[in-house]
Structure formats: C-alpha cells, structure tokens
Structure 1
Amino acid sequence: MAIRPTRLALSLLCVVMTIGTASRGGGNSDEATLLAFKAGHSSSVLASWNSSASFCNWEGVTCGRRRPTRVVALDLRSSNLTGTLTPVVGNLTFLRWLNLSSNGLYGEIPPSLGRLRHLRSLDLGSNSLSVIPYSLFNLTSLKYVYLFRNRFSGFVPSTVGRLRFVERLGLYSNRLEADKSKGWEFITSLANCSQLQYLDIAYNSFSGKLPRSIVNLSTTLQELYVDHNSISGSMPEEIGNLIGLDMLDLGFTNLSGVIPTSIGKLANLVEIGLHYTSLSGLIPSSIGNLTNLNRLYAFYSNFEGPIPASLGELKKLFVLGLSNNHLNGSIPREIFELPSLSWFLDLSSNSLSGPIPSEVGTLVNINAVDLSGNQLSGQIPDSIGNCIVLESLYLEENSFEGGIPQSLSNLKGLTILNLTMNKFSGKIPDTIGSIQQLQKLSLAHNNFSGPIPASLQNLTTLWQLDVSFNNLQGEVPVKGVFRNLTFSSVVGNDNLCGGIPQLHLPPCPILDVRKNKNQHLKSLAIALPTTGAMLVLVSVIVLILLHHRKLKRRQNRQATSLVIEEQYQRVSYYVLSRGSNDFSEANLLGKGRYGSVYRCTLDNEDALVAVKVFDLQQLGSSKSFEAECEALRRVRHRSLIKIITCCSSIDPRGQEFKALVLEFMPNGSLDGWIHPKSSKCSPSNTLSFSQRLNIVIDIFEAMDYLHNHCQPSIIHCDMKPSNILLAEDMSAKVGDFGISKILPKSTTKTHLNSKSSIGIRGSIGYIAPEYGEGSAASKLGDIYSLGIMLLEMFTATSPTDDMFKDSLNLHDFAAAAFPDRALEIADETIWLHETNYTDVTDASMTRGIIQQSLVSVFGLGISCSKQQPRERMVLADAVSKIHAIRDEYFKSQMVEQRAIEH
C-alpha cells in the first residue's frame, strides 16, 4: 500500500517538470501565450482557439517553417478585440508580423512589445491606444510601423531614430505634437533611419517649421505626408534633394513663401498636394519637369501670376486643381492639349481672362471642367461638343456672350451645366433637351430671350432648373422638371406666362379663332402647295445624301472606336469605376485572355451591367477591343450578347483605358454549370438534360446567324463554354468576339483557302486541327469548336483534361464509346434532375429516352468535330439536327408521362 503515494508523487513531479519545460520555451510556450491572450480579449474570432486543432491552425496564427512550433505572425485585424492590449504578446519572441488594426483596443501599448526583437511589421492602426512606450523604438528589425488613427498625444519619442531599417512609418490621425522647444527632434532622429521610404505624420498637431533635416532622406524616401498639421514657415529649398519622392502632400498646413524652383528635380513625383496653404508667388515653370505627375492639387492657396505654359509638358496629368488663388492672364492652350487630363480641370475663382481656347475640344476624356468665377469672355467654343464624356461644366460668373453652342447637345452624359451670371443672349437652343443625363441646369442672370424649350420637360433626370433673370417669354411647360418648379427659378422674366399654379404667373392669352379663321384659310391655301413642293424637294435631297453617305462609308471605313461612339453613348472611366466600386475583387465576374469582366451599376440605372475591361498591357488587347466593337455593332440576334456602350479614356494612373459595357448575365458562364466549383453537385448548380438541349439550340442558332445570315459573315474563332453566358431564364448568349474575324464578301461560304498570317485563333482544346497547320480562320473551324463544346456539355469532360495525352482527344474519346456506351461517358449530374419517376420501370423508361437522345447528341458532336474540315457537318444541317433531337426527346417524354398517368 505504501507504493501508491510514491507513484503519485512521481506523477506529480513529471507534470511539474513538463510545465517547467514549457515555461522555459518549449514547444507549447507559444500556445500558452496565445491562450493567455485569448483570456485577456473577448472576441468571437478567438472561439477557434481551442484544443480541437493545433494552435498553428488557429485563426490569425501562422507558425514558422524552420521552427514549426513557434508563432511568427499574428493577424487579428478587424476581429472585434476590446480592452487593453495584454502584455503577454511580448512573450511571442519569434513574432515577425503583428497586425491588430481596426479593433477596439485602448490604453497603453505594453512596453513588453520591446522584447519582440525579430518583429518586422507592427500595425496597431485604427484603435484607441493612447501611449507609445520608448521601448517600441528599440526594435531595430522593424521595417513597417503603422500607429495611425489612435489617440496618442504628446511628443513622438526621440528614440524613433533607432529604427535604422524602418521603411514605412505611419503616425497620422493622432494627437501628436511638436513645437519649437522640441525642435522636431524626432524628425531629426529620423535622418538616422537610412532605409525610410514612407513617412506619414498627417492629421496631428505638429507646429513650428518643417525641419530641413528631412531632406537628408534624399534617395530612400518615396512618400511623405505632413498634411493637416499646423506647421509653418517656408518649404525648404533643398526639397529638390528628395529625388526618390513619388508622393508629397503638404496640404492643410500653414506653409508660406514660394514654391522652390528646385521642386522641378523631383522627376519621380506622381502626386503633389499644395492645397489649403499660405503659399504664394508664382507657380514655378520648373514644375513642368515633373513629367510623371498624375495629380496636382494647389487650390485654396495664394498663388498669383499666370498659369505656366510648361504645365503642358505634364503628359500624364489627369487632375489639375488650381482654384481659389489669385492667378491671372489667359488660360494656356497647352493645358487643353494634355491627352491624359480626364478626372477634372478646376481653375475656378481666380482672375483669369480672355476666351476659352478652341483646343478645349481636345479634352475628349475629361470628366469635369470648372472655369467659374473668373473674367473669361467671348463665346463658348463650338469644339466643346467634342468632350463627349463630360459630366459637369461650370462656366458661371464670367463674361461669356453670344448663344449656347448647339454642339452641347453632343454631351449626352452631362449631368450639371451652370452658365449663370454671364452675358449670353439669343434663344435657348431646343437641342439642349437632348442631353439625356442632365440633372442640374442653371442659366440665370443672362440675356436669353424667346421661349423656354419644351424639350426640357422630356429630360426625366433633370431635377434642378434655374432660368431666372433673363428676357424669356411665352408659356412655361408643365411636365417633367416643371412640375416642381418654384417662382425663384423663373423670376426676372416679365413675359413668361402659364406653368403650374405655384408659379403665380399670369395665364397665357387665348387666340381668337373666329377672328383669324379666314386669315388662316388664306394662308393655308398659299402655304400647303408650297410646303408640299418643299417636302418633295427635301425628300429627294435627303435620299441623295443618304445614298452618297452609304457609298462614302463603304469606300472610307472609319475607325472602329469612332463608329462605336456614333452608335452608342460613351461613358467615362469614373462612371464605370463608381459603379463597380473601383473594379473591386468583389465585383469580378471572370478573367480572360485580354482582360477582366466586372459587375457594375451605371449611374441613374437600376439594372446591372457587365463591364469588360481590356488589359492594354497584354499584347493584342487593343486589336481585341476593336474586333469586338466591330463585330458587335454589326449583329442583332437574341442569342448574341448585346453591347450597351463603350469607354475609351484615361485611368487615374494616366494609362489608356478601354472597356465595353455589356448586358449582365445573372447566371454566369456555361463553363461554371458544366464544371461546378462546388464539390457537392445538386440540381441547383448543374444542368438538366432538357436545359442542355435548349442551350445548344441557342448557341447553334446564334452561330448560324453569324455564318449565314449576317452581312458580311462573322467567324467567332473562340467558341468554348466560358464564352457562353446564361440569362436569368437560362437562355444562352454567345459573347467574347475579341478574336472574331469578319469575312470579306469574296470569301467562299465555308472556308478560306489562304494561309493565316496572324497566328492561331482560339483556345487550346477547341482549336480546329487545320489552324495548327497554318490555315486561316474559317466557318468550318467554328463548327469544329461547336462539336467539341457539344461533347463537353454532355460528358462534363474538358478537352484539356489530363486524360488526353499523346494523340487521344475528346472527339476520339466520344467516338470510341459511340453508340453503345453513351451512358458510360455521359455527365452523371444529368440524373440529379430525373427524380420524377414512381417505380423502377418508370426510371428505366426515362433512362432509355435520355440514352437514345444522348446517342443522337454524341453523333452530332462527333460529326461536327471530325479531323478533316470537309467531312464536318454543315452548320445549317447541324441546326436542323439539334432541333429534331430536342423535338423527339420532348415527344418521348410526353408519351412516357401519359403512360405513367394511365
């Protein structure tokens, strides 16, 4: 009996030794630390931190490769962590990455973090932390430090200078201070950070002068943000030493003095912010040396003198904001010749004079123009109608005169037009009612005469109209925007009448019909014969002009992009960007050879669209854009994807941007239904046999239209399931005409005998064999692709499957099973939909009907995908064949159903 206590003592001793080993850094020490961390912070994310899985598999935890039991990364961003940050984090001594951003942590950053000597990245941003310990800046391995959007106050520790290898330091949006007494000692200490690339101290309470020591980071510093502080004094002349800078933001500060000419040395600069400062003097012409500049913000400052013409050298500039300064002189023509200027041009609230140069029409990609509040004069150039993606145009408070140019009606996407407080005269053109997206129209305080155009009441988007203080006359319309018009919108026009009762305008006079009856009859007796003769003459002239125009189009084929712009209303880059949340991953529908397709909601539209964005860095993508535009503008068929509009513009990086806006297909591509991503197949993510037959008919009819009923004929060249899109009712539409070919009229109906000089067209597995031998694109090549796709649809076997090696392909695979083993190679998910039989006999009958139809389908697919082009079935015959297969299938189904019922 005495041995039992001894055994118990030994057991307890083993447990103690095990615990001791763990506490001295054994394999479970990090696990214990993590459990202690969990105990200090309540969060549903930490629920997975339990013994059911290894701690290295816990959410947010990453262990090392060389030391698989040591935690090297802890990422718990946006995990609803609350409370003070527990000091136990400092026990994860092998930690390299720590991200606890966007949580509810508060209080002090524990000094124990200073023990994480391997730490490279520390992100505690967007919390409510309030104290930075000195020990934090002893971590010499740190490269990335983000402490933004907390509640830190006081001064930044001078020990920050010990972060010799730091690359990114973000301290913005806190309550950090710096004043003359401290002398910006922490910035001075940053000069020792020889690797510093990113410094963000914006949205703090720094004051005093910007220390010159910052220019010592001449080659490494790439991004510098000191905006939204109270710093004063002048910009250091040595700012030009920071030759590595690509981002410089000094906005919302008290900086004064002039911009040093040395700024022209910052050749890598992409964005510069000098807005809301006290900077003054001339804008130096050296700024024209910043040839990589995309964005120049210098509004609400005290700049004076002329706008330097050297800005015309900034060929990548897409944003120019110089409003609310004291600039004078004329607007340089060179600015309007910047090909990339696309976001906005804002020169408002200055003292600029002279006319708008006619070169304004060069800004074909500009989204917004604001020239209001200046002393500009003359007439609005008619060339402004070339700015076809313009959305906002502000020209108020100038001295413009003359009439509104008719070309403004070209701006179909214009939403805001403000021409108030000028000297415009004449009638308001009726064509202004054709600006389809117009939302705000202000024409007040001018000298317009004549009636208010009735066409304005047809603009369903127009909700704000101001025509006050003009010389307008006649009846005020009562529909559209005029239903909610207020008196202040029409005041100052003494000869207006009618309108809605709320305007309190006098009623319009009623003509005395009896008094003028005889006079009207006499006038009609003279006018009708004259009018009839004029109409005949005009009709003849119109017919001649139309015939001449048709001949001219045949002889001189315009560029594809221009044709598309004539046929469809172009949209701007920013409309598509807003509608797709900046082309976010969440809206990505798919990727192809030449670009990506995104879900998008156009402004003022309820329906979704699909935006195909072309990757212009990919060789051939521009030609693909042109080919698809050219093909889609020619075709009209229910089973072909429809183009809504297009975009050819400049993106925020100054790069060329091309996109097509297509109708949205809510059920995605056929490929996703044949090969569902989910490992669990069900009737909800697969296709029934009848659905497949209907889809095949849609595809074959679309291709028959392209080949045989479209003038000139079009060869698709890339038929495959991923290019077949499914509508809400599961009807199919053929898309992606990026490598399609339009046949010349002299071409034979089925084949091009010449060799191809453009390389192989199509996708691997679906390409006709003769293409590999150099044969040109042909209708028979499309038929081969259709046959392969047909076999894939009913076997769920991809032609690029690993099983196809050497000389074996999908055609041979199906031919070997044809006809007796058709059920063996059929897609098994077809049977998921056939569950309406009542006994074994019924099931056997249904299976027999499907087998009979499968044999016919496989026979058609094999006939279309034969090796030799001339042995393939003609498409018109294939269309008839697939219709017959479907009709026979449904007929047999009806017979079976009647047999079951009886």
Structure 2
Amino acid sequence: MLILELVITSFASCSALGNETDKIALQQFRSLLTDNSAGTLASWNDSHHFCQWTGVTCGLRHQRVTALNLDGQDLAGTVSPFIGNLSFLQYLNLANNSLHGFIPPEIGRLFRLRNLILSHNTLGGGIPSNLSQCLNLLTLELDYNYLHDHIPSEFGLLSKLQKLSFSNNNLTGPIPASIGNLSSLQVLDLLNNSLIGGVPVSTSKTRLKVFLVSENELTGGFPSANLSSLNIILPNLQTLVLGDNQFTGPIPDSLSNASNLATIDIPLNNFSGRVPASFGRLQNLKWLNLLQNFLGSGTTDGLSFLADLANCSNLEMLDLQYNQFKGELPVSVGNLSTQLKQLLMSGNRIRGSIPEVITNLFSLNRLYIDDNMLTGNIPMSIGRLSNLHYLNLGQNKLTGHIPSTIGNITGLIDLYLYNNSFEGSIPLSLSNCKSLQEILLCHNKFTGTIPSHMISPSSLVTLLNVSHNSLSGPLPPEVGNLKNLISLDVSYNQISKLYMQANHFQGPIPQLGGLKGIRFLDLSNNNLSGQIPEFLVNLSSSLQFLNLSFNNLEGEVTVQGIFGNTSAFKVDGNKELCGGIPELHLPSLALVSLALVFWLRNLKEEHLPTHSLGHFYERISYDALFKATDGFCSSKLIGSGSFGSVYKGTLGPDGRIVAIKVLNLQQKGAFKSFLAECKALSSIRHRNLVKILTACSSVDSHGNEFRALVYEFMGNGNLDMWLHPNDEQMQLKPWSFLQRLNIAIDVASALDYLHHQCQTPLVHCDLKPSNILLDHEFTAHISDFGLSRLVFESNEDIFWSHLSSSAFKGTVGYIAPEYGMGVHPSTSGDVYSFGILLLEMFTGRRPTDNIFEDDFNIQKFVKSAMPKRATGFLDQSIFCGEVGESSDEQADWSDCGIDKAECLLSVFEIGLTCSAESPNDRKDMNGVARDLLSIRDKFLKTRVHEDRVQSPAPSDTLEEAA
C-alpha cells in the first residue's frame, strides 16, 4: 500500500509539473505574438485555466496540451522555440496568419506530433532538418511562405507521412531521393519553387495519389529513363501536375497504366512526339492539358489520338493549344465526351473545314480553334452549342456568311471571328446574345450596316471591333448607350454617321482618321480633353457636320477645313479654347498668352519666393526654350522618364546653363503633375532638393500643347550613372565608402525635410538613383518630387493618377510592396525606396538585377551575405582599392579595417530595416538621417586621415560623364 501511495503521489507531482511546463511554454509563445484582431488571445491570462484559452485543447486525463489551433486568427510575430516544450502536442496549426522569422528547430522534439500546419505566413529561412524526428507526422504543410534552401533528405525517415506540401516557397536543389522512403505518402505538393533535376526513381515506392511539381526548373524525361512502366509504380496516382518546367522527350505510353488518373496537366514544357493512344484507357480522365509543348507526329494524322480519347467518357477539358499538330480536324472529334466543356486547339497547323459533328459536343462552353489554317464555312449547326460562352475562330481562312443560327447561342460572352474572309452582313440574330461582352469581327469583308438591334441599352458589351471591313451607313446611335464600353474600333469602313454624344468619354479625341466616309460626327457632352486633332481637318472632304461642344477641349481652334464654316461645326462649352474664325467669339491666342504671363508672375510672387530659387525668369516662352536647346536637339537630351524628357539648355543674357524638363502630355496625369510640381517646389527650401527656376505652359510650333519646367543644372549627372556606368563611363569609378555615405546622408536629409519639416508633409513616391542628381561638389539633390502628392485628401487624385500611370511601372524594385495592393501613399513608402537605394549604393546591384528572381530579392541577398561578411557581394570599388581587386567571396570585410567593416554592417542594417516588408517595421527618415550621421562620425573619428571627401574626378560636366 505504501508503494502504491508513493507511485500515485509521484505521478500527481509529475502531472502538475508537466502542466506548469505547458503553461509556461504557452505564455512564452504568447509573448512573441501580436494579436491584430484584438480578441483571439484575450483569454490567454491567469483568470482562465490554460486549457480554456482560445485555440488550446488539452487531454482529459492529464490536462496536458494536445492541440494548438490558431488558424486564421490575424496573428503577427514569430514562433517561440518554447513551443518545443509542449511535449504532448499532437496537432499544431498556425496557418493563415502573418508570422515571420524562422521555424523553430525545437519543434523536432515533439515526438507525438501528427499534424504540423504553418502554411500562408511569411516564415523564412531553411526547413529545419530535425523535423524528421517527429516520426508520427501524418501531415506537414509549410506552403505559401518564404522558405529557401534544400528539402532536407532526412525527411525520408517520416514513414507515416501522408501529405507533404511545400508549394509556393523559394526552395532550391533536387527533389531528394529519400522521398521514396515515404511509403504512406499520398500527396506531394512542391508547386512554384526553384527545384532542379529530375523526378527521382524512388517515387515508385510511394502510394502517391497527387503529384504536384509545376512551376519549377525540373528537367529530363518523365518518368525517369530507367522506369520502363508505371504498372508497378504510382498505381494510385490520380492527379499529375508537371506544368511550367523543362521536361523533354515523349509522353510515356506507360502513363496510362496509372488507371486512376483523372488529371494530367503538363503544359509549358518541351514534350514532343505523339500523344499516346493508350490515354483512351483512362476511364476516369477529366482534365488533359498539353498546352505549349512540341507535340505532334509531324504528319497529317497528328490528331488521330482524338479517336482514342472518345473512350474517356468523363473528359471535361482538353487543351492542345500551341503545339505542332498538323492535318485536318478528324470527324472523331464529334465522338469526344458529351461532358466536354473546353476544347482548345489554338496555335497549331490544323487545315480543312470545321466538321459538322463538332456540334455534338453540346456541353461545350469554350471552343478555341483560332490561329490555324481552317477553310470553308462555319457549320450551320453551330447553334446547337447552346451552352457555349466563348467562341474563337479568329486568324484562319474561313469564308462565307456568319450563320444566323449563331443567335441560338444566347449565353455567348466572347465572339472572336477576326482575320478571316467572312462576307455578307452581320446577322441580326446576334441581338439574341444578351450576354455578349467582347465582339471582334475586324479584318473581314463584312458589308451592310452594324445592326442596331445587336446593341441594346442593357448591353454588356465592353469591346466592339469591326474595323477593316466594308461596313457603311451610320453607326447606330444606340452605341451611345453602351455604359460598359471600354474599346470601340470602327475604323477603315465606310461609316457615314457617328453619334457618341452625352456619355462619359474621357481623354483626348480618339483617332478616327480611318473613317474616310464619315459625314456626321457628334462627340458633344462628354469629358473629352486636349486639343482638337489635325485629322478632323483632313476629313473635310467627307465630313459635313461636327459637334464637339460641352467638353473640356483646349488650345487654338484652326480655321482650316470644316472649321472655316461656322454652320458646319459646334465647339461651345469648351472654356479653354481660343482662336478660330471671328464668328466664334473666342479669345485670341495672344490674349491667352498674356494671361499666362500674369499667371506665371503671380505664381512666382505668391508661391516661388526668389530668395529660395535664385534668379527667376519672369518671361519664358516656347520659343525661348526651343532656342535654348537648339530645337530640342537630340544632342541636348540628357535624360528621360515616365513624364517627359530632360534637355540641357542655355538661357538668358548671361548664358546660364539649365535643365529643361519637357512633359509628355500623352501620359495620363501629366497636366496634374505639372501643377503639382510647380506648387510643391515653389514653397520649399533645402540644399538637397533640386531648384525650379521657372515654368512654361504654351503651344509648340505644331499647335500642340506644351509644358515644361526649368531646373538648376547639375553638372555631375545622376546617381544611377555613377552606380552603374556603361562602357563609356568606366572612368567614373572608383568612388569611396565615405562618398557614398555622404550622398546617402544628403538624400536622407532631404526626405526628412519633406516628411517632417514642411508645413504639409510631401511624399516623393518615385525615389530611385536616376532621381538623385549630383552637383559639381558631389552634393546630392532629389529631383521629381513634384510627382508626389501632398498627404491630405484634396490632392488624393494627383497621387492615384500617377499610380495608375507608367510612372510607377517604370521603377519596379523601388516601389513599396503595399502600393501594389492599393494602399494609399505614405512617408513609409519613401522609406522603403530609400532602403532599397541604400542597399544598391553599397552592393552595386540594382534591385532588378538578373540574379533576383521569383521571391529572392536584394534584401535577402544582403541578409544571406552579412553573417559571412564576404566582400564578394559588395561593389568592388567601395574601399578604393583597400580590399583589392579580388572578387573572392571568401575575403572578409575586416581585411579593409575593422572600423569600415562595422560601419558597413550598420549601413546594411539601416537599409534592411528601411526596406522591411511591413510599413510598421520601418524607421522614419528623421531617425535614419540621425543614424547615418552617427555612422559617419564614428568612421571619421577612427580614420582621421579620411576627414575630407575626395571627389571622384575626372569629370566636371555632364557631357563628359555621359
């Protein structure tokens, strides 16, 4: 009895100790998390037993934690290594959160663990090999993270594992052969990584049902050459996805021995030869995707396998697009499964006519046979395909009329018949197709008119292209009721009347010069802007009446063509128009120019104080800028960007050299960028911001609107040309660590001023090396900050107009990731760009360098190199020869001095912090500027002999540098 009591007492003591261990582990786990939802972890306190905490499940007998499920709880932070102390844990699910950092190797101690699910987070680093110690694992899901390095070969020890999912990471190396030891494995998902090599022979030992390896860099044949048959391997396989790799050779005939196959998805590879006829034995096959390979027998019977596929009675999708199939489309196509929903055969060499029997496939919702060599007519029975939504027969040699039975396909959404030789009229029956959105009938021989019944007020049409036909008569006025219309092209026809009034059309008047027979054109009551285009003058031989009234048109009205007859056109309600014949009573161009001079003068007096800008040219005309740049000669061109080109010019009697930025008004938002830049630049004063001298808003010699900004000239070009000189600029290098640091401080100081010291904070939104200009003393000046918007609501439209323009598309690599998700601009976006800029300055690598692919970026590049302190990843001139010319990646930074090594490490830490993925993890520019100044002070104190910057001569002028 005494012994029994001792055992019970000892057992109770151990149980209590275990409970306390679990509680401490959970508390430590909680301490590293942020509960963004402000509710999930609210119960995790001493007022509740830890077994009652949200997401925690305990065993009934010992009250030990057996499951922790916090899936989708909006948690952030890192996973504590204390998780490894929950020794009774069987189920761990932290998926669909915002966890970062590394997977703790301590999880490998959880020998009872059956399910480990960490997918859809931002976890990084390698996959800990000691997870292989969790010998009871059934499920291991780490997909949708930022994991890298190899798949540990030790995972071959997990003999009970049924599901392994590592998709959408940055994993490299081969698929380990030890995978073959996973005799219970049913699902292997390695999609979207950077895996190399072939599919290991050892997979034959598994019970795989699902094999997903698409979007990798796998090579060779499939299966491996020494696997002669699938009769004994992968007998349970149901889903095979190999797309977007580099597999070669024929599709093995033995693949059909995996009789349970329902999905074969192998697009975007280099498979060649015939499609195995034995696929007809796959009774469960639903999905066969062979897109973009090199398949085809090379003979005219390349599609003979379709007769065999007729036995696949469950087939729903067949994609043969962009291969090398030749010959006629066999009548056996009509014997395919009646459940077939998609038949896609674009981009092959299929000849002959469309067989009538194809309409037996009454379940089809998508039929693509475009970009082939088909001839003959569309079968009259096409109307039997009543479930069809998408029909593409474009780019063939089809002839005849469009059958009226096409109107029976009432659910049709897209109709593409372009680039054929169809003739006759567009069938009235198309008006029955109420769901039509895109209609491409261009480049045919259609005659007659566009049926008005085809275009109802409730129409969903977004794209209508009937150009390059022989259509005549008026464009139906119902076109004006197409509320969803995005693109309309009726050019190169004989349309006589075009009525587009009372819509919400925006932008310049579209190019309609192809409408040579147009007699009546009404574009009134819209939001059209810009100048009246010249092609309207050239249409005067046919055009009898033109109505442009009540838009937002501007500039001078010509007196030529139809504009010489006041009864033939209307332009009232356009407040910015001038000139024209006297009967219009519009202000003269001279009067408008005079008003512009006064506007510029007021702009100068009220917003551009001369003490901040230096000399301000009160009068600047297009002619003056034309002369200053020798007619905007290409030899004067010194740069170009998303919103315009920059020329070097000479102004005034003193021959002052300036930079003239001519805005590209074809870019959306250029006018707003002009106004925003004038206003923003006029009221700020900082030594590291480029100065505006004046502005020009006029018309050029062709009557087109013209706007330009005149800046102070910077003699040493921009930072980009110093970081990445071309062959003609190699003499620019080297330049030192201290010079780079000084420029970084200049840029940080300017951003600090814009963000924190202006009356209204300014966001740059487009910081990059080419926007950092260097004067003769190598002081850095930020340019183009006028393209940003003021951070308050009234100017929100300025920013978003830039965001949707090519201004952002042209600077990939520097844009904060949150902008791509529609987040409003903020100063932290500039901080991100500065962080990337800082890393680029000291590594010498652009963020768009070829080595940065998929999710591997400049930040990860620096992070991976910092622990080694290797010089191989640095710009080799960074210490002006002190490191030497060697590119040995094993050389240590300390070879050039401990002081520089420590300072360089600090610079990289700032760059990484500034370019953090989350805006909340970034510094502000005030702190960044202070930190960089501290680094410079430390550096100068320890290296007194470098107490001044040596300019990287020899060039003093931009022409010599470039």
- State TM-score, norm by structure 1: 0.49
Larger Cα-atom Rg: 1
